A and B are shown apart, each in its own frame.
Chain A
Amino acid sequence: MSYIENAEQLTGPFGEALARGELTVQKCNSCGELIMYPKYRCPSCFGNDLDWCAVSGRGQLLTYTVLRFGAPSSFDVEPPYAIGVVRLDEGPQLTGRLHAGADGTWDHYRCDEPVVFEPADAAEVAQRPAAWFAAPRGS
């Protein structure tokens, strides 16, 4: 029986989808559970028939912060930058980055308000494969 053998196999499909501009989450083929972050076994049924599926990219911003000092040196981004925790409409939640608004700040974000997946450019995704979110247009 085959199984996911290492972290590269586990996380690779997420980064590849981001590079295509798509947000995906892991899906258990046995029980249908959507899983984020991906696991070696389904946390619900404990099966290992695991796949990936695209999601709408719509979600709710549970919380966020703007880090202004003390970025990890390996991260190689000059602060400030914003981090958010998003609960997707499909259920799973994940940590990602928040785009700044037109004024260059993150002042327009609020907890529990809607956000949408808006991929970063290819170079950014290649270096730091994270999901980026923004406030819905027109809001």
Chain B
Amino acid sequence: MSNMPYPQPGSASDAAFIGIGEIPSGKYPKRGFMAQLVEAAARAIQDSGLQHTDIDQLVLIPNLHGIPDQADLIFSRVAEELGLHGRVKSSMMVHSGGSTSDNATRAAAGLVASGQARNVLVVQSEKWGSADLTEMVDMLSVNGIPREWEGTSGLQFNAIGGLITQRYMHQSGSTPEEMASVCVALREWARLNPNAMWKDKELTVEQVLASKLVSDPIRAIECPYLADGAAAFVMTSATEARRNHDSWVRIGGSGGCVSHYSSGQDAELGELGWPKAAVEAYDAAGWGPQDADLAEVYDSYSAVLTIALEGLGLSKKGEAARDFHAKRFSPGGEFPVNTNGGLLSAGHTGVGGGMALLVEAVRQLLHRAEPERQVAGAERCIVGGSGGSYMDAQIMMLERVEK
């Protein structure tokens, strides 16, 4: 077992997810940034059974679409919008790109565990789907990669996806068909999720392979679609949760590894930080991949997901794409993965992509997903997030608790 001082289950320092909120992802140009954020927050608070005035701490997840809205988050506009000014103790932002939801969970749980906060609202809103695409390409190539070193080679985010996918396919011998089947499996899940961007559109391997090459070996349909969206959750202590809830979700343990900043510096782009993070997470939780009922893992490109699933021990090394091709991770398959459709089919809401996966994990463990995609009797979920150029591997071992 881990020698990390994790809280005793059920204690006042054991943080509990008690509510989630989400609005549909997609292209919604008329839906404003703050309107989305307040709606997701209100849904999460209502789901938690608390009054809005019970929230004493705001942890805000940044947007990537623009500075003015970011400034609104930084300077506590959300406190006023939610009627919490003069009430809430503090409003802060946590940011690590795609793994932000995991680190925001760490922050919120830590605040609860240390007695700094009672009821924490974590909320995120993004307008990527309505943003100017050229501006976003420039933003993600000038920022987020080392300008002096990789900017001069013309790197941008799809190219990073290409570099990782090329390496993964070389090492695993996965075929284009097998890689395409990752997108197809995620689409099958998205078709069951009313909040998913592509819920109304079927996808086949043939369609993926017929789309144009964008950054070899990645094709257009294998690139994540930028989306608008918002999600939120509420955390409190297990002792508070017990008062009003029959079930909640706790963190059995976590693991993490920041393996690089620049994609050119990772010693093994086909593995990233997952193997190291997994050892830590499984040791901390006292359970592992064989005990999980489902997984929700960052998937902005197919190889990003297959590499993670192998590092997490949910697939044998080199076999994850073939497992997707054999429908192992699809609805009705042996092991459910990314039951909301993931970033590739629910929509890439920037930092919110990881948030949507985390919220789906909590939803599944609370048994509040729509019946068609609810994993029956789900008790344990492995959540994985990664940020930037897949600079880090963050793992949250989530457990359902019943009173």
Q: What residues make up the interface of A, taking CB atoms closer than 8 Å to B?
A: 7, 10-11, 36-37, 62-75, 77, 81, 83, 85, 93-97, 106, 110-112, 128-130
For window 360-399 of B, CB contacts with A under 8 Å fall at none
Question: What are the residues of chain B within 8 A of A37 when measuring CB–CB?
Answer: 146, 148-149, 262, 264-265
B155-198 to A contact mask, C-beta < 8 Å, 1/0 = 11011001111110011000000000000000000000000000
CB < 8 Å neighbour of A67 from B146, B164, B215, B267: B215
Decide if the interface of chain A is mainly helix, strand, loop or mixed.
mixed
- Alpha-carbon distance between A37 and B152 when the two chains are bound, in angstroms: 13
Point out the residues of chain A lying under 8 angstroms from B262, CB to CB.
37, 95
- Taking a contact as CB atoms under 8 Å apart, the answer to whether B137 and A70 are in contact is yes
Distance from A86 Cβ to chain B, minimum over Cβ atoms (Å):
8
Interface status of B154 (Cβ within 8 A of chain A): yes
Report which B residues bind A (CB closer than 8 A).
134, 137-138, 141-142, 146, 148-156, 158-159, 162-167, 170-171, 212-218, 262-265, 267, 269
Alpha-carbon distance A128/B155, docked complex (angstroms): 12
| B269 contacts across to A, CB distance below 8 A | 62-63, 85
A132 to chain B, nearest CB (A): 9
Closest to B169 in A: A111
Q: What are 30 sample pairs from A and B whose C-beta atoms fall under 8 A apart? A: A10-B148, A36-B265, A62-B167, A63-B163, A63-B166, A63-B269, A65-B162, A65-B163, A65-B216, A65-B217, A67-B154, A67-B156, A67-B159, A70-B156, A70-B158, A70-B214, A71-B154, A72-B151, A75-B141, A75-B151, A83-B153, A83-B155, A83-B163, A85-B263, A94-B149, A95-B155, A95-B263, A97-B153, A106-B216, A130-B152
Count chain B CB atoms within 10 A of each CB in A66, A75, A85, A96 and give the residue with the most.
A85
Q: Which of A11, A72, A95, A111 contacts B141 (CB 8 A)?
A: A72
The listed residue (B137, B138, B146, B154) touching A83 by CB distance below 8 A is B154
User: 8 smallest A-B Cβ distances: which pairs?
Assistant: A65-B162, A95-B264, A72-B141, A111-B170, A63-B167, A130-B152, A66-B216, A75-B154
> Which of A65, A67, A95 contacts B150 (CB under 8 A)?
A95
CA distance A43 to B29 in the complex (A): 46
Whole-angstrom distance between the alpha carbons of A83 and B153 in the complex?
A: 6
In the complex, A106 Cα to B263 Cα: how many Å?
21
Chain A residues closer than 8 Å to B218, beta-carbon distance: 65
In the complex, the answer to whether A67 meets B167 with C-beta atoms within 8 Å is no
B167: A residues at CB distance < 8 A = 62-63, 111
Q: Is the CB of A81 within 8 A of B154?
A: yes
Minimum CB distance partner of A77 in chain B: B154
Give the docked Cα–Cα distance between A34 and B355 (Å): 39
**A95 contacts B166, C-beta separation under 8 Å:** no
Asked whether, in the complex, the Cβ of A93 is within 8 Å of the Cβ of B151, the reply is no
CB distance from A74 to the nearest CB of B (A): 6
A67 near B158: Cβ-Cβ < 8 Å: yes
Q: Which chain A residues border B138 with CB–CB below 8 Å? A: 72-74
Q: How far does the Cβ of A92 sit from chain B's closest Cβ, in whole Å?
A: 9
- The smallest C-beta distance from A100 to any residue of chain B, in angstroms, reads 13
How far in angstroms is the closest Cβ of chain B from A117? 14
In the docked arrangement, what's the CA distance between A36 and B165, Å?
Answer: 23
* A65-B216, A85-B264 known; A95-B158 Cβ under 8 A: no
Q: Which residue of B lies closest to A82 (CB)?
A: B216
Most buried by B among A10, A62, A65, A70: A65
Q: Which residues from B are CB-within-8-Å of A96?
A: 153
Nearest residue, chain B, Cβ from A18: B152
Closest to B267 in A: A93
CA distance A47 to B62 in the complex (A): 36
